[in-house]
């Protein structure tokens, strides 16, 4: 007799759903106008807040806490919604220190760095190390700009108070190409490490995705 089993629920999806629901509940209890001041978000009124994330404007609509793109009807991925809400709810308004650190230097992240490297740094090395100048044009697509780090460096403002700097070194006969992703040392006053990892992986993916159009000269 053939048996039919319902597919097991995806544990990661369940975790994202829970994280989103908790973030919505937390925001509903907060002084949203105060959090906008701390995060650099734009407070329009009690039912509309705008957060800039990777060069696009997202609208948060309390009290239901809907998250949508301001300029598009496209569905916002749940992971992006979580990052935006975490940023809005966790922001402490801490000033920039001017000191850059790497993911490995974040509290408790040293042992997790090899995974971060595969998710965020390796794709950049695989696609930009031979033509690092392409990285500057790719970053511009995300609102980024050239930075004076490595042989080629760029800074992308992932969120209003979270600049992320990428540096690549070409390498030579003795050393392989290498890369680094850096943040201001105050970043943990705005986001947890898991969100920082996801943002960096998203930036890497978006930068790589622009390469075909850049090569064709569609700047």
Domain CATH code at residue 202: 3.30.310
Domain match, 138 and 76 both:
no
Strands (E) across the chain are located at 42-45, 48-53, 56-61, 66-69, 100-102, 145-146, 152-159, 162-169, 178-184
For the record, the structure tokens of 215 come out as 């090569």
Instruction: Quote helix, strand, coil % in the chain, to nearest 5.
Output: 40, 20, 35
Domain match, 108 and 73 both:
no
Domain match, 71 and 109 both:
no
Domain contains 120: yes
For the chain, how many structural domains are there in total? 2
**Distance from C-alpha of 209 to C-alpha of 213, rounded to nearest angstrom:** 9
Domain match, 25 and 108 both:
no
pLDDT recorded at residue 6 = 47
Domain match, 27 and 51 both:
yes
Domain contains 54: yes
Domain match, 104 and 211 both:
yes
Domain contains 204: yes
**Distance from C-alpha of 94 to C-alpha of 2, rounded to nearest angstrom:** 60
pLDDT recorded at residue 172 = 78
pLDDT recorded at residue 9 = 56
CA dihedral 81, 142, 164, 136 (to 10 degrees): 160
Domain match, 165 and 73 both:
no
Domain match, 33 and 84 both:
yes
Q: Which of these three, 90, 119, 146, is where a domain ends?
A: 90
pLDDT recorded at residue 40 = 97
For the record, the structure tokens of 6 come out as 């319902």
Domain contains 46: yes
Find the domain containing 169 and state its range.
Answer: 100-215
Domain contains 3: no
Domain match, 205 and 128 both:
yes
Domain match, 66 and 128 both:
no
Domain match, 69 and 123 both:
no
| Rounded average pLDDT per 10-residue block, the chain, 219 residues | 52 88 93 96 94 97 90 92 97 97 95 95 94 92 95 96 96 86 98 96 96 75
Domain contains 149: yes
3-class DSSP state of 91: coil
pLDDT recorded at residue 218 = 53
Domain match, 123 and 25 both:
no
For the record, the structure tokens of 46 come out as 């009690």
Domain contains 189: yes
Q: Which of these three, 90, 109, 133, is where a domain ends?
A: 90
Q: Which of these three, 42, 65, 90, is where a domain ends?
A: 90
């Amino acid at each position: 007799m053939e048996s039919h089993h319902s597919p097991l629920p995806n544990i990661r999806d369940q975790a994202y759903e829970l994280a989103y629901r908790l973030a919505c509940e937390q925001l509903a209890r907060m002084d949203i106008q105060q959090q906008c001041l701390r995060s650099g978000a734009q407070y329009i009124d009690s039912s509309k807040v705008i957060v800039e994330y990777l060069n696009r404007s997202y609208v948060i609509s309390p009290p239901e806490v809907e998250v949508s793109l301001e300029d598009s009807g496209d569905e916002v991925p749940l992971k992006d919604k979580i990052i935006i809400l975490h940023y809005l709810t966790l922001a402490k308004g801490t000033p920039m220190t001017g000191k850059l650190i790497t993911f490995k230097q974040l509290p408790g992240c040293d042992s997790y760095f090899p995974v971060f490297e595969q998710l965020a740094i390796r794709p950049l090395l695989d696609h930009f190390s031979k033509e690092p100048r392409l990285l500057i044009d790719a970053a511009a697509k995300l609102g980024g700009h050239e930075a004076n780090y490595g042989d080629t460096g760029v800074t992308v403002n992932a969120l209003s108070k979270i600049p992320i700097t990428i540096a690549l070194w070409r390498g030579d006969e003795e050393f392989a190409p290498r890369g680094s992703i850096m943040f201001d040392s105050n970043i943990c006053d705005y986001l947890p490490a898991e969100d920082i990892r996801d943002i960096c992986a998203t930036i890497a993916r978006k930068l790589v995705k622009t390469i075909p159009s850049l090569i064709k000269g569609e700047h």
